[in-house]
Structure 1
Amino acid sequence: MPDLADQFLDLPAGRTHYRLDGPAGAPVVVFVPGATLPMFVWDGLADTIAAGGYRVLRYDLIGRGASAAPRITYDADAFDRQLTELLDRVEPAGPVHLVALAFGALITARFADRRPERVASLTYVAPDGFGVRMSPAVRLMQRPVLGDVLLAAVGTAVLLSRLPDYSDRPEIVQALRSRFRPYATAPGFQRAVLSSVRRMPVHDAGALYRRNDDRGVPTLVLWGRADRVTPLPDPERLRLALPHAGLRVFDETGHLPHAERPAEVATALTAFLQANTAGTSGTPD
């Protein structure tokens, strides 16, 4: 649950839970979580980047974590509106570095496509948009009416049952389960997730990624080779979507490489950020 360092903003898009760390005036790095887990999924990596001299913003998507879950359509416009309004209030000056996990990559790619002048770089960790693994229950939930009934009956169990696919390390799965369980039953959360997976391009975002790549936005892709949630796609498909992106694949690592290989991921991300800080709102110490 939120701690004393966390803050809230009443945005038009919805009340948003966020946290801001690191020195004021430094280059801004925004960590965007995925479809279900709140911003705690970035604990460790975000703290390391902040300690390295960057201004780090992390937040809960609307409908997730401690952010509000308004009765809206959870589509690209809704998430883009939240991120834009949050940046306008918290860090309005200069382009920012965007770091996103899975579903969050769809949000940051859309933001960069619409507002390229506000983006210094993009980092995608196991990005959605190349096809995601869905259990039979999740596929049924995507169907109108039937999906809503199933969600009400077994939604929490289905969401918790996915966690072992995130990592082969029991301690990581157990930590995720204990921290995620209170949010999995929060009012509006499951409805928001269902709306999101029905309306976001989780299976085919290649054209969106390619537009940013063609525009020359510096991009880094980090992936676990053993990812069972968003499996590493065929190399040709990845190349067509992101021909100029840097790619780092971590062997024997699952959906959260920053949790399983924290030092290696932090080193790779820090080097990428340092190489692309020109023109941002400052330079790290």
Structure 2
Amino acid sequence: MKYFATAEEDRRLDPESRRHLRGDFVRLSDGVTHYELAGPEGGPVAMLAGGLTVPLAYWDGLAEQLHARGVRTLACSAYGRGYSDRVRARYDEALFVRQLVELRDELGIGQPLHLVGTSMGALVAMAYAAEHPDTLATLTLAGPAGLLRQHLPPHRLLANDHVARFVARRFGRRLLESHLGHNVRDPRLAARLTAMVLDAYRYEGSLFAFFDTLQHIPLSGRADRFRRTGALGIPTLLLWGADDQVTPIDQLDRARLLLRPEQCHVIPDCGHMAPLERPGEVAEHITAFITDHTQRRAS
């Protein structure tokens, strides 16, 4: 899709606009990435891959809980999200995997990683696992996209660049806000999530990145990706919100059949964004899973 900006995108990301923002920035081959590496020195490293819309602040609650349990975290905003660059490139899984690989290498993280992906980030995490299985100790997937419907324009509608650009420019903001409204159960948390996401969507090129991603990363019909991930033999933890309205719980059995995870947990009273909605419970499951596999390797 040809790059565009909308009237609502009244800010531009540059060194000056980033000067007062939290976290760190690094220039990678495709652009500048906003990241935070935090938590106890020497602890196992969990690399966090976010979903379709969210910035790295999405992970704050989970990161705090993981740090308290001895786990170090590496979170970043994917290109086009948060305060990472809106690159003029094809927003596909290859772009996001390359971003994670280059960030890992730039920061000199050589130990086996514990990769955590949520929603679309779970598809990115699975693509990463397919290309770099030897770098992973465990894989955690929370509410993975790919098996059913989405509250967004269908992928086939966006296949035509002209149609996609028209939909994005005319209806993009409305579709984005509608999508965000389905993600969590608690209306107060939904309002906080929406404010967090929409603040970053004031930066030029944000809706372009959102819709170009929808063009190039199908969020349904991805059973083969799940199947291939299950065949890799990477210890996998599957987490799912009981009240998920985006990737509904009725797809859990199919996901388990395809992924063959070592562990699977349903998070009660939780919507699509378990790491945001139930950070303590999610952290407990991830930490126990990491500890179990660390002890196995040491024995």
TM-score by length of 1: 0.90
Instruction: Let me know the Cα RMSD of the aligned residues.
Output: 2.3
Letter in 1 for 2:269: E
1:159 aligns with 2:180: no
Partner of 1:59: 76
Partner of 1:150: 167
Contact in 2 for aligned 1:80/1:110 (Cα 8 Å)? yes
Q: In structure 1, how many angstroms separate the alpha carbons of the residues matched to 2:46 and 2:244? A: 25
Partner of 1:75: 92
Q: How many residues align?
A: 281
1:219 aligns with 2:236: yes
- Per-residue deviation, residues 101-125 of structure 1 (Å, max 9, x unmatched): 1000111111111111101111111
Contact in 2 for aligned 1:142/1:197 (Cα 8 Å)? no
Q: In structure 1, how many angstroms separate the alpha carbons of the residues matched to 2:234 and 2:155? A: 34
Partner of 1:186: 203
User: How far 1:239 moved relative to its partner?
Assistant: 3.1
CA separation of 1:222 and 1:148: change in aligned 2, threshold 3 A: same
User: How far 1:270 moved relative to its partner?
Assistant: 1.4
CA separation of 1:216 and 1:247: change in aligned 2, threshold 3 A: same
CA separation of 1:135 and 1:29: change in aligned 2, threshold 3 A: closer
Question: Structure 1 residue runs of 4+, over 3 Å off?
Answer: 1-5, 135-143, 233-236
- Which SS does the other structure have where 1:234 is aligned? helix
Gaps of 5+ in 2: 1-16
1:93 to 110, 113, 124: 110
Structure 1, 54-63 or 135-144: larger mean CA deviation: 135-144
Contact in 2 for aligned 1:141/1:151 (Cα 8 Å)? no
- Per-residue deviation, residues 2-36 of structure 1 (Å, max 9, x unmatched): 77650000000211000010123321111111011
Contact in 1 for aligned 2:155/2:214 (Cα 8 Å)? no
Partner of 2:137: 120
CA separation of 1:52 and 1:6: change in aligned 2, threshold 3 A: same
CA separation of 1:140 and 1:208: change in aligned 2, threshold 3 A: closer
Q: In structure 2, how many angstroms separate the alpha carbons of the residues matched to 1:217 and 1:230? A: 23
2:281 to 251, 254, 264: 264
TM-score by length of 2: 0.86
User: How far 1:246 moved relative to its partner?
Assistant: 1.6
- Which SS does the other structure have where 1:145 is aligned? helix
Q: In structure 2, how many angstroms separate the alpha carbons of the residues matched to 1:256 and 1:57? A: 18
User: How far 1:275 moved relative to its partner?
Assistant: 1.2
User: How far 1:134 moved relative to its partner?
Assistant: 2.5
Letter in 1 for 2:263: G
1:106 to 118, 123, 129: 123
User: How far 1:143 moved relative to its partner?
Assistant: 4.2
Structure 1, 218-227 or 248-257: larger mean CA deviation: 248-257
CA separation of 1:239 and 1:26: change in aligned 2, threshold 3 A: closer
Q: In structure 1, how many angstroms separate the alpha carbons of the residues matched to 2:155 and 2:256? A: 29
Partner of 1:16: 33
Letter in 1 for 2:233: G
- Per-residue deviation, residues 260-282 of structure 1 (Å, max 9, x unmatched): 333322211211111122598x9
Contact in 1 for aligned 2:147/2:251 (Cα 8 Å)? no
